[in-house]
């Protein structure tokens, strides 16, 4: 008798996976290696930024009071008493009618409270003239205007991107404390699988899931060990799964989680004593997606169908990995879009359709990316988002408002919203 499985909702499945994530502690690494990692410490301003009043332009540092009354008919002249390039400081403050020639980024001399841009002057021997008054603080970059010493600028749990690197460098973080990154294991199961370089022979297909998952991990900066392909043989498959679990922090298998004669993953979980969190999710593609835990390790049993495999990774594996790394915004960003095509198939389960979103004169429009069955591979290549169509008996028609989840976004969001 075929086993009947009880489907759980996607949000519930996501919640279960997230509940079973275990952080791996922290480590201190050089700043150059911090891109893509998750901060284990907040970034606190170690000093004011800027740390001194500085000129935002190339020009002249003046006392604003000396500029009052300047006009086209009444040009006021200033005597230049020296030059301050970026990285240099003035010998003294300025007095009435005096100015320093000053370059962008240079420290503003004492008594000056405005910068006259070069373009706002007519130069003359020993100085320049201006034709408009300047107010105190005009063209002036104040000490601490960007960040104040002691301020918490970025919270722990934030993903490090190039802007974060700039901030860390500003405060002299030559090393950064980040969460440890898990090492993933990838195993593609299926007697039908050929290697990418193999010639096609009758009944066989090339393994596309293994390389795809590797790339999905690489996009997240997650290292992995590949355990290649394994034919559907219970003993051999159990042995390699066991070895992979021992050598990695979590395992992604593809294929073999359904109820077919050669779907051995359920039996393998049982043999190893892994606890199955769910083995049926109310979604298409990928309703057979299974997640189990063994000790503190998550075992992602993704469907062999390429679209289902891809979607299972993005919905469950990706946020779990970010959670293991202490990331506080692990979910794909979400937007509303207008459906660009009819999708009339009734939905017993929520559909996650590989789709393309684009900005048009009518706003954001998302359309399915072509052939969209769970075994499709072409639409994964074309898609740039997942279109979410909640379950219901009706189909969906062009022009309806729909939800989309953005794939490949550098920064995620804190809440699972759908
Ligand atoms: P399964 O999940 O093992 O029932 O496989 C479902 C479908 O996905 C079958 O048509 C398999 O041939 C196909 N499939 C399984 N593994 C892979 C893989 N690594 N790459 C591409 N297709 C696969
Ligand atoms: Mg199979």
Contacts of 40 (CB under 8 A, 6+ apart): 26, 156, 177, 178, 179, 326
Largest interatomic CA distance in the chain? 100
Residue 256 CB–ligand 1 contact under 6 Å: yes
> What is the C-alpha to C-alpha distance for residues 168 and 154, in angstroms, rounded to an integer?
10
Residue 287 CB–ligand 1 contact under 6 Å: no
Task: Render pLDDT for 45-97 as a digit per residue (tens, 0 to 9).
Answer: 999 999 999 999 999 999 999 999 999 999 999 999 999 999 999 999 999 99
Confidence of residue 374 (pLDDT cuts 50, 70, 90): confident
Inter-axis angle of helices 265-272 and 234-247, to 10 degrees?
Answer: 60
Q: Facing residues of 114 across strands?
A: 62
Q: What is the pTM of this model?
A: 0.94
CA 353 / ligand 2 centre spacing (Å): 22
Confidence of residue 1 (pLDDT cuts 50, 70, 90): low
Task: Render pLDDT for 240-249 as a digit per residue (tens, 0 to 9).
Answer: 999 999 999 9
Nearest residue by C-alpha to atom 16 in ligand 1:
304
Q: Reduce the DSSP state of residue 117 to 3 states and report it.
A: strand
Q: Which of 198, 205, 311 to mutate to test the pocket of ligand 1 (most atoms within 8 A of CB)?
A: 205
* Neighbour-count burial for 287-301, b at 16+ CB within 10 Å, e otherwise: bbbbbbbbeebbbbb
> What is the C-alpha to C-alpha distance for residues 407 and 219, in angstroms, rounded to an integer?
11
């Amino acid at each position: 008798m075929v086993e009947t499985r009880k489907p759980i909702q996607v949000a519930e499945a996501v919640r279960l996976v997230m509940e079973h994530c275990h952080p791996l502690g922290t480590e201190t690494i050089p700043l150059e290696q911090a891109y893509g990692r998750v901060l284990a410490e907040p970034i606190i301003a170690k000093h004011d930024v800027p740390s001194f009043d500085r000129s935002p332009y190339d020009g002249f540092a003046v006392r604003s009071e000396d500029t009052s009354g300047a006009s086209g008919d009444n040009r006021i002249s200033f005597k230049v008493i020296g030059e301050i390039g970026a990285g240099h400081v003035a010998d003294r403050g300025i007095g009435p009618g005096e100015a320093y020639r000053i370059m962008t980024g240079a420290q503003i001399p004492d008594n000056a409270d405005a910068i006259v841009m070069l373009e706002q002057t007519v130069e003359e021997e020993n100085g320049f003239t201006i034709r408009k008054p300047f107010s105190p603080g005009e063209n002036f970059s104040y000490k601490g205007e960007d960040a104040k010493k002691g301020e918490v600028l970025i919270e722990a749990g934030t993903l490090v991107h190039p802007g974060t690197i700039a901030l860390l460098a500003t405060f002299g973080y030559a090393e950064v404390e980040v969460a440890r990154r898990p090492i993933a294991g990838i195993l593609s199961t299926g007697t039908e699988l050929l290697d990418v370089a193999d010639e096609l022979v009758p009944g066989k297909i090339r393994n596309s899931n293994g390389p795809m998952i590797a790339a999905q991990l690489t996009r997240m900066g997650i290292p992995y060990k590949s355990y290649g392909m394994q034919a559907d043989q219970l003993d051999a498959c159990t042995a390699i799964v066991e070895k992979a679990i021992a050598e990695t922090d979590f395992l992604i298998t593809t294929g073999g989680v359904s109820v077919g004669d050669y779907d051995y993953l359920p039996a393998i979980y049982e043999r190893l004593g892994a606890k199955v969190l769910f083995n049926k999710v109310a979604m298409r593609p990928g309703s057979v997606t299974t997640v189990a835990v063994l000790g503190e390790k998550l075992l992602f049993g993704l469907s062999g169908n390429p679209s289902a495999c891809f979607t299972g990774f993005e919905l469950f594996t990706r946020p779990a990995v970010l959670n293991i790394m202490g990331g506080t915004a692990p979910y794909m960003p979400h937007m509303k879009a207008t459906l660009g095509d009819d999708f009339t198939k009734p939905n017993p389960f929520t559909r996650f359709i590989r789709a393309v979103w684009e900005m048009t004169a009518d706003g954001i429009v998302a359309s399915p990316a072509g052939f969209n069955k769970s075994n499709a591979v072409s639409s994964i290549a074309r898609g740039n988002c997942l279109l979410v169509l909640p379950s219901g008996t009706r189909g969906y028609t062009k022009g309806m408002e729909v939800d989309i989840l953005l794939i490949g976004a550098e920064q995620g969001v804190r809440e699972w919203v759908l």
